[in-house]
């Protein structure tokens, strides 16, 4: 049988059979509309309530602070557009390594008259507090910083940033300035990091199902009581009038189940994955010359490996890997619509050629040590072949210099 090694768990995960089982009754047995008052409607409503309570326990919040949405992207759009549309010509601060859901929503907000500041990150992928305080203005309304990056896995210190913003808010209050809300996109982090919103000091937090062995097309947004925001979808007034539309009952049940399962096993699973992750990182860095690890070596998700392999292009590597059953991802321009290579790798200060050669391997609960060995056995051969066929020889010193001298300024979108 052909090998089939899935190392793209940051793109999406397989749905856990236990999640599928939990969702099962809500397709054909309890299919009622949660807004209906009879038995079937109440069964659906009950399932949503239980799911909301389950999630609120994990987030350490009130159940009514959880709003279900159609996925991570929608939660992010609701957080950003919902909050910003409460004011005219407001100010939003975010970072250069956010997911496109944040950056493109920010672009739309810019078009409707808001000012957007983009914070730089350092060479290892971290936002720093100095830049946050420098970027804040009187009319700053929202700061959105992702918890863990989808491409390079870097984990921001949200707790520290949240506490910092809270402190700033206290002084703003005395000056009569409006509170700055803090949102974090925790899609990549939901399965394996602590999501306690009190500890994190966040007002808004996005999670979704498809990265935590849950269903696709369902997400949630934590909205701290008192946070002012408008809905972005109008209709029947479901979810406290913040997300109209008949609720995705099986999806919601699946999301809650998946979050419970991943959160309860995260410590053990993280420890297992870190071993495999480091084995893969060290294996590639030591056996393949001219390779660069993107992102901090340890303050990264337990399952994320992102390495640039110089002198060759990511999509070509991807095709060879796919041919031998390894499924991974690249930050090369050739796999994006805009022909722009990964904005995240570029934000680290890496030149274009480093982004074109970046490969992402994201491990999952089915990844075994044999899979890592298989990659380490075959990848060097593929790289050697493509390098032999490539006329490019990138100078490593110049790359290091470019990363060191990258501008790293707060920019306006």
Active site residue 350: no
Task: Determine if 107 is a binding residue for other proteins (CB under 8 A).
Answer: no
Site for other proteins in 64-93 (CB under 8 A): none
Q: How far is the CB of 12 from other proteins (least distance, A)?
A: 12
- 356 binds other proteins per the rule CB under 8 A: yes
Contacting residue, 335, 376, 380, 408, with other proteins by CB under 8 A: 335
Give me the least distance between CB of 3 and other proteins, in Å please: 10
Q: From the CB of 148, what's the least distance to other proteins, in Å?
A: 18
CB of 331: closest distance to other proteins in angstroms? 9
Residues 159 and 196: their CA atoms lie apart, in Å, by 10
Q: Nearest CA to 10 among 342, 253, 399?
A: 342
Count the Cβ atoms, other than its own, within 10 Å of residue 347.
Answer: 25
Stretch that binds other proteins, among 128-136, 163-171, 271-279, 386-394 (CB under 8 A): 386-394
**Residue 1 interacting with other proteins (CB under 8 A):** no
Contact 381, 338 (CB under 8 A): no
Alpha helix (H) residue ranges in 288-368? 314-323, 343-347, 352-356
The answer to whether residue 338 forms part of the interface with other proteins (CB under 8 A) is yes
Told to check if 267 binds other proteins by CB under 8 A, we report no
Identity of the residue, 13 or 332, whose beta carbon is nearer to other proteins in the bound complex: 332
Contact 348, 294 (CB under 8 A): yes
User: How many residues appear in the chain?
Assistant: 413
Provide φ and ψ at 212, rounded to 5°: -125, 35
Interaction residues for other proteins, span 154-183 (CB under 8 A): none
- The residue within the footprint of other proteins, chosen from 108, 128, 279, 390 (CB under 8 A), is 390
Q: How far is the CB of 319 from other proteins (least distance, A)?
A: 5
How far, in Å, are 45, 88, 144, 204 from residue 231 at the CA level? 21, 16, 18, 14
The DSSP 8-state label assigned to residue 242 in this structure reads T
Distances (CA, A) of 380 to 276, 313, 320: 18, 14, 12
Nearer to other proteins by C-beta: 37 or 389? 389
Largest separation between any pair of C-alpha atoms in the chain: 70
**Shortest distance in whole angstroms from residue 355 CB to other proteins:** 9
Three-state DSSP state, 243: coil
Does position 211 bind other proteins by CB under 8 A? Answer: no
What mask, x for binding other proteins by CB under 8 A, covers residues 3 to 42? -x------x-------------------------------
Binds other proteins by CB under 8 A, chosen from 174, 298, 339, 412? 339
Question: Which residues make Cβ contacts (< 8 Å) with residue 244, sequence separation at least 6?
Answer: 231, 233, 234, 235, 236, 237, 238
H-type helices in 85-218, by residue range?
Answer: 100-111, 129-135, 158-175, 197-200
Residues with catalytic function = 334
Q: Please report, as ranges, the residues that interact with other proteins according to CB under 8 A.
A: 2, 4, 11, 100, 311-316, 319-320, 322-323, 325, 329, 332-341, 351-353, 356, 388-392, 394
């Amino acid at each position: 049988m052909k090998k089939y090694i899935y190392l793209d768990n940051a793109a999406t995960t397989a749905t856990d059979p236990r999640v599928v089982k939990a969702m099962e009754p809500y397709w054909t047995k309890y299919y009622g509309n949660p807004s209906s008052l009879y038995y079937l409607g109440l069964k659906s409503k009950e399932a949503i309530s239980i799911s909301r309570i389950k999630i609120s326990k994990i987030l350490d919040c009130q159940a009514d602070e959880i709003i279900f949405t159609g996925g991570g992207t929608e939660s992010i759009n609701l957080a950003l557009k919902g909050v910003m549309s409460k004011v005219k010509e407001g100010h939003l601060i975010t970072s250069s390594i956010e997911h496109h859901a944040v950056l493109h929503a920010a672009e739309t907000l810019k078009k409707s008259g808001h000012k957007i500041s983009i914070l730089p990150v350092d060479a290892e992928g971290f936002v720093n507090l100095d830049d946050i305080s420098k970027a804040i203005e009187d009319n700053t309304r929202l700061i959105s910083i992702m918890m863990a990056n989808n491409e390079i896995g870097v984990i921001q210190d949200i707790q520290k940033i949240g506490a910092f913003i809270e402190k700033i808010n206290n002084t703003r209050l005395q000056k009569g300035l409006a509170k700055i809300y803090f949102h974090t996109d925790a899609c990549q982090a939901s399965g394996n990091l602590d999501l306690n919103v009190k500890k994190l000091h966040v007002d808004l937090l996005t999670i979704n199902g498809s990265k935590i062995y849950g269903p696709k097309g369902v997400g949630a947004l934590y909205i701290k009581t008192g946070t002012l925001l408008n809905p972005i979808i109008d209709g029947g007034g479901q979810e406290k009038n913040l997300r109209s539309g008949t609720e995705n009952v099986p999806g919601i049940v699946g999301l809650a189940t998946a979050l419970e399962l991943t959160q309860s096993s995260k410590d053990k699973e993280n420890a297992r994955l870190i071993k495999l992750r480091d084995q893969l990182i060290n294996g590639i860095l030591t056996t393949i010359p001219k390779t660069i690890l993107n992102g901090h070596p340890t303050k990264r998700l337990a399952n994320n490996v992102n390495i640039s392999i110089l002198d060759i292009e990511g999509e070509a590597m991807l095709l060879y890997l796919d041919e031998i059953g390894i499924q991974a991802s690249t930050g090369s321009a050739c796999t994006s619509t805009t022909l722009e290579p990964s904005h995240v790798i570029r934000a680290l200060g890496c030149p274009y050629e480093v982004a074109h050669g970046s490969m992402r391997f994201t491990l999952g609960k089915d990844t075994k040590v044999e899979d890592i060995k298989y990659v380490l056995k075959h990848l060097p051969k593929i790289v050697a072949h493509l390098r032999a066929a490539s006329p490019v020889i990138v100078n490593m010193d110049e790359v290091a210099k470019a990363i060191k001298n990258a501008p790293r300024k707060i920019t306006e979108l």
